[in-house]
Amino acid sequence: MKALIIGTGAVGCAVAIAVADGGMETAVIAKGETAGYIKKNGLKRTGIFGELDIPAQDILVYEDYDSIEGAFDYIAVAVKTGANKEIAKNLSEHKSIMGENGKIILFQNGWGNDEPYLEYFPASQVFNARVITGFERLKPGVTNVTVHTAPILLGSLHGESVEGLEPLAKAINDSGIPSEVSTELMQALWAKMLYNTTLNPLGAIMGMSYGELAGSEHLQGIMNRLIEETFAVMDAAGYRTFWNNAGEYMDIFYSKLIPDTFAHRASTLQDIEKRKKTEIDTLNGCIRDIGKKHGVPTPTHDMIVELIKGIEDVRCQQ
């Protein structure tokens, strides 16, 4: 089987390493310094699941869509969510990359990321992944696994069969990172939204790890309000997750999820430190927008969004 990975940050490199290790013909789209590094050195994974090296000869590197040859079974999209419209358009203009049965899988934070792709492709070709493992990019082509609390889940938000995703899940799992297919991906993604919108931007604003956030009663109060607002929005919009209410989620949030990821520093914080724009629009901004649509006030999320955008205005160049 063949896999193309779009995005060579921490998550994209981890997916490329997994599928290459599983014997798939693996290609990445990369540019500049990153493309040069991978062509010369290949890819490397370090961290809690051990080291894994993929030599340069086992990775094809494309620097643009026009140069891509052949059709791929899987196209894993692991870029920041702000690039989805451009990528969806590029894939629509190069449909030979996918073939008739190719599948797009979005390895991204947030909700609603599939919408640009569904403008060009049927739901039977557009899937999502729930990633709640922590990754960080140490340098081009090198990804470090920092924390892990639940398997990577692959599935459909539109009732499509997940059977065709099983080889991809197996490759990731066999590489050492737990992964499986799921028929409950909506519930899983909203569980991740609860986790990400509560921790990521607040961690970036405060410059703290997840454990440090939970160590303050004042910050716990903010996190609790974020969780309560998210559940109110979910209830109004008809979305579901694995817990019935905010109280049930808070119990597992503070007793398991935080301890499991105590030292992790949010991807939002890492973006700010690299002077890059964040994914706030598909995280807390998404909660705010759904809340407005259904008449649910989200004052805490609103403030978080404005604070992150204020930081971006001053510190971020792109």
Per-residue pLDDT reduced to its tens digit, 289-303? 999 999 999 999 999
Q: Which pLDDT score, from 0 to 100, does residue 308 have?
A: 96
Mean pLDDT of the region 221-244 = 97
Asked whether residue 166 falls in the same domain as residue 249, the answer is: no
Asked whether residue 29 falls in the same domain as residue 143, the answer is: yes
Asked whether residue 158 falls in the same domain as residue 252, the answer is: no
Q: Indicate the residue among 149, 166, 183 that finishes a domain.
A: 183
Asked whether residue 177 falls in the same domain as residue 263, the answer is: no
Percent of the chain with pLDDT over 90: 87
Mean pLDDT across the chain: 94
CATH code of residue 167: 3.40.50.720
Task: Tell me, yes or no, if the pTM score tops 0.75.
Answer: yes
Asked whether residue 10 falls in the same domain as residue 153, the answer is: yes
Q: Indicate the residue among 130, 157, 183 that finishes a domain.
A: 183
Asked whether residue 196 falls in the same domain as residue 127, the answer is: no
Q: Indicate the residue among 150, 168, 183 that finishes a domain.
A: 183
Residue 266 binned pLDDT confidence (cut-offs 50, 70, 90): confident
Tally of domains within the chain: 2
Asked whether residue 6 falls in the same domain as residue 148, the answer is: yes
Per-residue pLDDT reduced to its tens digit, 118-138? 999 999 999 999 998 889 899
Asked whether residue 261 falls in the same domain as residue 149, the answer is: no
CATH code of residue 197: 1.10.1040.10
Asked whether residue 52 falls in the same domain as residue 155, the answer is: yes
Structural domain span for residue 289: 187-315
Consecutive H or E run containing 257:
none
Q: Which pLDDT score, from 0 to 100, does residue 317 have?
A: 66
Where in the sequence numbering do the catalytic residues fall?
Answer: 192
Asked whether residue 30 falls in the same domain as residue 172, the answer is: yes
Asked whether residue 121 falls in the same domain as residue 159, the answer is: yes
- Indicate whether 318 pLDDT > 80: no
Asked whether residue 32 falls in the same domain as residue 71, the answer is: yes
